[in-house]
Amino acid sequence: MVAMEAPVRRHRRLRRSETIRALVRETELTPSHLVYPIFVEAGLTGREPIEPMPGQFRLGLDAVSEEARELGRLGIPAVLLFGIPETKDEAGSSAWQPHGVVQEAIRRMKDANPDLVTIGDVCLCEYTTHGHCGVLAPDGSVDNDRTLPLLAQMAVSLAEAGCDIIAPSDMMDGRVAAIRHALDSAGFEQVAILSYAAKFASAFYGPFRVAADSAPAFGDRRGYQMDPANVRMAIDEVLTDVAEGADMVMVKPALPYLDVIRAVRERTELPLAAYNVSGEYAMLCAAAERGWIDRERAVHEALTAIRRAGADIVITYHAKEWARSRS
């Protein structure tokens, strides 16, 4: 045998035990980094399973208080709320009713767990008969400027119900400025805005649209959501929303857009969220159900990757299962 010099660096020294690995671990993931999305349906009693999202449910208003208490026990600090109303119309007017389904859910969750941070999604797709994110122009396109005051009205309604953070997901130009002005004018200067700043027209939203009953009745959303091919444009979107008054920004989806998360992280010091969306969740569930991957390890690896890319906040349907696995 030929004698060889010992390696100069033995990287495995720092991998010998879990204690050493934890000591030098660069990326931290705790329940405090997680936000749990919840679907609340008007008129529903209890819980209804969401078929393409195993383990996830639509909740009736009678079930949200216990959900809030469970999240408190698990150490998960925040929820992102989506509503399925009893009635829809062309303008989505159920979105800003004082006793709308999300408004009532906020009140009940706050009563059950006062420390829970409630984030209200602001978009009209769940509330309109046509399923698009704003009101329609005569040619069937979404009318950006006519939609802005409706989004602002929805935001104020959620703030009046006790919502802590407003999260506009509609991708209308100028929505952050319109919402900030409306909140401030209504006396809600302390209510923060988490903007879906870089929201891509993704194929990974399919299960969500079943859960939220929000699929467009015609066409698609590529006219206002971002082209998946673009990262420079994502940065421009983010910086525009920052200039308009966003307190936090978001990249959506997460795992197929880790490069975008990193690029955004390098351009802004604002808190950065990433949404680990329904299609990402469903794919991992399907692979685990077939025994192709270890679900617990895969969930931890996926969420850690999102944090490693630069996200401060991870919005994920895995939040509760991950927190339970670490308790």
Catalytic residue, chosen from 88, 110, 199, 320, is 199
Active site residue 199: yes
110 contacts 67 by C-beta, under 8 angstroms? no
Catalytic residue, chosen from 88, 110, 252, 320, is 252
- Give all strands (DSSP E) within the chain, no chain letters: 34-41, 47-49, 57-59, 78-84, 117-122, 165-168, 192-199, 248-252, 272-276, 313-316
* Cα angle for residues 28, 163, 203 (degrees, 5° grid): 60
| Helix or strand (DSSP H, E) at 236 | helix 232-244
Q: Tokens 């859960």 label which residue?
A: 211
Name the 3-class secondary structure at 211: helix
Active site residue 252: yes
Tokens at 160, concatenated: 């009046």
Tokens at 100, concatenated: 């709308």
In this structure, what are the phi and psi dihedrals at residue 6, rounded to the nearest 5 degrees? -65, 150
| Active centre residues (catalytic) | 199, 252
